[in-house]
């Protein structure tokens, strides 16, 4: 393996593209790499514990490719460049189940398209773009509409009979909607939810958790167990279709869906038909941006020439079709070393184990820590310091440890011992729920809670810093946020280094925050599973604190971004802090949102002017602000989006209406350019806000008219 380092000394992402890989120095190194690749592939296709993560395998494969290119005399008969999958089985495939070539960036995708155009002697008629499911390829035969055989890919020519496991696979009916004889090909995979359920089932039966969803699906398809692990299927091809359904890939997939089979077109990822390679590039970027929201794992996107005539003319190489290619994404599961397990105590007293990791690039981001969920889960999974662990990061979610490579465990690795008392205050721990919590709850972290309440993004109390809070807590003058509003000048002036003038200024500063909007109060309370953006959304939806406290769970679920689980947590948290809320209100702290609930649904602002960031149907545009906006903090920029009637988002995706780009913009601006999203300069955004507040509709409309799409990069 290449042992490359990033500029900061952390482990760099493995070089997975043969165009950038270096060859092996000797034939012996090459043969060793081939043997390692074959062992890893055997474990991969068998669904056993992963020997190499995807990025490591792709990097190994890339070096084998470039070594064979420069030293063709070295090429081994069992090279992974010549052999697909693993040794076959007893079932001979009707046509070979070949692999598919890979590209790793837009340049590689355009190069492939140019070669395909050259092979055809003309441009490709059109393309399809669909998810590359991270699962196990199978062939499924139906005779007169009845399922008769399921076979694994095997070596591409013969596979293993796994028909007995058909009952486990959702999306693969035992009888089609028409009595046709057909062979369907696709992927057996495990959804994120089913992977979690499968791990729980394994643990309940005394077995180690799965390494990842892909190996879980492959192993479960072959295993005969006393319990059933749920699997899913998605079709991507078929043979034996009638001519009227076989003239293109897109029509073939549509026909399979009509027969009752789950297909890539019906999935949350969808199948996109594109007129040219530029549209393909946009579709690939859009699917990559949604990768973490699909509910199942994909490791790339598959691009195909749509028309059967184009496919037939392009033909095949020895191991892959020339008319199709996979655009691989950065691996979202990697292996690294768990250095130690730390314990964090949150503002609300929740105690969480956190993995400190040897830095590793996962999904294009350097990860140094990851969540271990809770102590019960940590002990069930038997993860220890020193272990080689699987780190998963799908999309923009928080990295998590999904398991450990127990065969690689150091001999001196000790089982983890959870804390017996709260690490912060030394008090008792409430273990009645999966997520442990200090028995003192919020009182355990009163300082952290108060710092958050007084911070710029919450109540923004000027002049009240950490040292003054420490002194107030030590003197017993305050125990919660409401006590701040009871402070007077004599009390503060008697404290060290304050005096009458400073005390008077601080009392006035605290009193001024009583007029802050409800959304700021909600933010300052630090309710679990909320944040600044969601607190604003809640405040604008309900309008008053009384309405919030009286809301039933069903009403909570009407707020954008709040589902059943989050609604229950937020409701319980609010009930817990209700006495504090009452105490704040008694001190005169505002408990209403100035714009009221109408701001979330009406097309007019409080002054009666139209909201610029509303669509004609009244729904809000999704806007991302990146970089600095003149005259506004980052949080105020997001608040401005909502004041203008839009929905502020922290991540760029194909569903983003436009991106506000200011000085210091980083990866979000780059991603917006890659997706070809509309861009608005931050100066113009500030002018838009000013015009809206002045009721100058014409100027606001003219500014929005300058928001134009940028060509994808």
* Parallel/antiparallel/unpaired status of strands 146-152 and 158-159: unpaired
Q: Is 56 annotated as a binding residue?
A: yes
Residue 663 DSSP label: B
Read out DSSP for 61-97?
HHHHHHHHHH-GGG--TT-TTT--SS---SEEPSS--
- Angle ∠(673,678,683) on CA atoms, nearest 5: 100
Catalytic: which of 115, 118, 132, 583? 132
Instruction: Tell me if 227 sits within 8 A of 201, measured CB to CB.
Output: yes
Read out DSSP for 280-349?
HHHHHHHHHHTGGGSSB-EEEEEEEE-BHHHHHHH-B-SSSBTTEEEEEPPPSEEEEEEEEEEEEE-TT-
Helix locations, 18-157, DSSP H: 27-46, 54-70, 106-120
**Greatest Cα-to-Cα distance within the chain, rounded to the nearest angstrom:** 92
Tokens standing for residue 327: 């655009």
- For 307, list phi and psi in degrees, rounded to 5: -75, 135
Tokens standing for residue 405: 């490579």
Cα 539 from chain centroid (whole Å): 27
Long-range contacts: 247-252, Cβ < 8 Å, 24+? 247/307, 247/308, 247/309, 248/306, 248/307, 248/308, 249/128, 249/304, 249/305, 249/306, 249/307, 249/308, 249/311, 250/128, 250/306
Q: Which residues contact 620 (CB under 8 A, 6 or more apart)?
A: 613, 614, 645, 646, 647
Sheet holding 658-661, edge to edge: 647-649, 622-626, 658-661, 678-681, 708-709
Q: Which residues contact 198 (CB under 8 A, 6 or more apart)?
A: 190, 210, 216, 220, 229, 230
Q: Is 153 annotated as a binding residue?
A: yes
Instruction: Tell me if 295 sits within 8 A of 191, measured CB to CB.
Output: yes
Read out DSSP for 430-444?
E-SSSS-EETTGGGG
Q: Is 99 annotated as a binding residue?
A: yes
**Burial letters for 10-41: b for 16+ Cβ neighbours within 10 Å, e otherwise?**
ebbbbbbbbeebebbeeeeebeebbebbbebb
Q: Is 289 annotated as a binding residue?
A: no
Instruction: Tell me if 338 sits within 8 A of 408, measured CB to CB.
Output: no
- Residue 591 exposure: Cα atoms within 13 Å on the Cβ side: 17
Q: Is 304 annotated as a binding residue?
A: yes
Q: Which residues of 569-657 form beta strands (DSSP E)? A: 622-626, 647-649
CB atoms within 10 A of CB 211: 23
Q: Is 100 annotated as a binding residue?
A: yes
Q: Is 187 annotated as a binding residue?
A: yes
Is 447 a known active-site residue?
A: no
Q: State the Cα–Cα distance between residues 705 and 702, nearest whole angstrom.
A: 5
Q: State the Cα–Cα distance between residues 134 and 137, nearest whole angstrom.
A: 9
Instruction: Tell me if 122 sits within 8 A of 342, measured CB to CB.
Output: no
Q: Scanning the structure block, which residue is given the tokens 């608005």?
A: 680
Instruction: Tell me if 203 sits within 8 A of 195, measured CB to CB.
Output: no
Tokens standing for residue 578: 């209700």
Q: State the Cα–Cα distance between residues 136 and 134, nearest whole angstrom.
A: 7
Instruction: Tell me if 646 sits within 8 A of 622, measured CB to CB.
Output: yes
Q: Is 444 annotated as a binding residue?
A: yes
Q: Scanning the structure block, which residue is given the tokens 């492959």?
A: 218
Whole-number Cα distances in Å, 505 to 349, 468, 481, 485, 500: 33, 13, 18, 13, 9
Give 343: exposed, middle or buried? Use CB within 10 Å, 0-12, 13-18, 19+: middle
Tokens standing for residue 270: 């969808």
Q: Which residues are identified as catalytic? A: 132
- Binding-site entries: 54-58, 99-100, 130, 153, 187, 304, 328, 422, 425, 444
- Binding-site entries for NAD(+): 54-58, 99-100, 130, 153, 187, 304, 328
- Binding-site entries for Zn(2+): 422, 425, 444
């Amino acid at each position: 393996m290449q042992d490359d380092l990033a500029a900061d000394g952390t482990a760099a992402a493995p070089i997975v593209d043969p165009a950038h890989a270096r060859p092996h120095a000797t034939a012996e190194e090459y043969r060793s790499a081939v043997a390692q690749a074959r062992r890893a592939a055997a474990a991969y296709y068998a669904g056993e514990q992963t020997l190499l993560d995807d990025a490591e395998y792709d990097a190994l494969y890339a070096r084998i490719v470039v070594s064979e290119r420069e030293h063709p005399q070295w090429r081994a008969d069992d090279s992974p460049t010549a052999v697909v999958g693993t040794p076959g089985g007893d079932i001979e495939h009707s046509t070979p189940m070949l692999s598919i070539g890979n590209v790793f960036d837009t340049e590689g995708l355009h190069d492939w398209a140019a070669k395909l155009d050259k092979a055809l002697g003309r441009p490709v008629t059109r393309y399809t773009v669909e998810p590359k499911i991270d699962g196990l390829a199978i062939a499924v035969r139906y005779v007169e509409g009845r399922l008769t055989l399921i076979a694994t890919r095997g070596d591409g020519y013969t596979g293993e009979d796994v028909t007995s496991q058909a009952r486990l696979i959702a999306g693969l009916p035992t009888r089609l909607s028409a009595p046709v004889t057909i062979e369907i090909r696709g992927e057996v995979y495990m959804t994120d939810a089913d992977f979690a359920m499968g791990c729980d089932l394994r643990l309940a039966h005394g077995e180690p958790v799965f390494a990842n969803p892909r190996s879980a699906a492959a192993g479960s398809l072959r295993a005969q167990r006393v319990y059933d692990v749920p699997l899913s299927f998605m079709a991507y091809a078929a043979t034996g279709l009638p001519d009227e359904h076989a003239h293109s890939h897109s029509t073939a997939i549509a026909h399979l869906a009509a027969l009752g089979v789950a297909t890539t077109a019906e999935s949350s990822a969808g199948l996109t038909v594109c007129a040219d390679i530029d549209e393909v590039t946009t579709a690939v970027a859009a699917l990559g941006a949604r990768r973490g929201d699909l509910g199942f794992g994909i490791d790339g996107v598959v691009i195909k020439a749509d028309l059967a005539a184009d496919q037939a003319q392009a033909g095949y190489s020895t191991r892959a079709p020339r008319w199709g290619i996979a655009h691989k994404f950065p691996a979202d599961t990697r292996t690294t070393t768990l250095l130690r397990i730390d314990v964090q105590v949150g503002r609300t007293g929740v105690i969480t184990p956190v993995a400190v990791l040897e830095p590793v690039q996962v999904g294009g981001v350097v990860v140094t820590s990851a969540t271990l969920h809770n102590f019960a889960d940590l002990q069930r999974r038997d993860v220890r310091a020193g272990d080689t662990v699987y780190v998963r990061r799908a999309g923009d979610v928080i990295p998590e440890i999904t398991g450990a490579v127990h065969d690689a465990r150091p001999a001196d690795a000790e089982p983890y011992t959870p804390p017996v008392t709260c690490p912060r205050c030394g008090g008792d721990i409430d273990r009645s729920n999966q997520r442990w919590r200090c028995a003192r709850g919020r009182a355990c972290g009163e300082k952290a809670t108060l710092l958050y309440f007084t911070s710029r993004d919450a109540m923004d109390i000027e002049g009240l810093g950490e040292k003054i809070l420490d002194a107030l807590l030590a003197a017993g003058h305050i125990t919660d946020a409401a006590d701040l509003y009871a402070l007077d000048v004599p009390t503060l002036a008697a404290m060290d280094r304050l005096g009458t003038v400073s005390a008077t200024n601080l009392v006035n500063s605290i009193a001024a925050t009583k007029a802050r909007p409800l959304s700021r109060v909600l933010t300052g309370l630090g309710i679990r599973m909320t944040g600044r953006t969601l607190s604003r959304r809640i405040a604008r939806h309900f309008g008053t604190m009384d309405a919030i406290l009286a809301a039933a769970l069903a009403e909570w679920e009407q707020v954008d971004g709040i589902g059943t689980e989050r609604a229950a947590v937020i409701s319980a948290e609010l009930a817990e802090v209700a006495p504090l809320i009452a105490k704040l209100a008694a001190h005169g702290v505002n408990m209403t949102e100035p714009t009221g609930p109408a701001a979330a649904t009406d097309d007019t602002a409080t002054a009666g002017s139209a909201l610029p960031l509303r669509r004609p149907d009244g729904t809000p545009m999704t806007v991302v602000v990146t970089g600095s906006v003149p005259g506004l903090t980052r949080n105020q920029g997001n608040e401005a989006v909502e004041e203008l009637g839009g929905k502020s988002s922290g991540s760029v995706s194909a569903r983003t209406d436009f991106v506000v780009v200011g000085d210091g913009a980083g990866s979000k601006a780059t991603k917006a350019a890659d997706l070809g999203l509309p861009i608005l300069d931050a100066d113009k955004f500030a002018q838009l806000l000013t015009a809206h507040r002045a009721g100058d509709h014409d100027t606001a409309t003219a500014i929005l008219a300058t928001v134009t799409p940028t060509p994808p990069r």
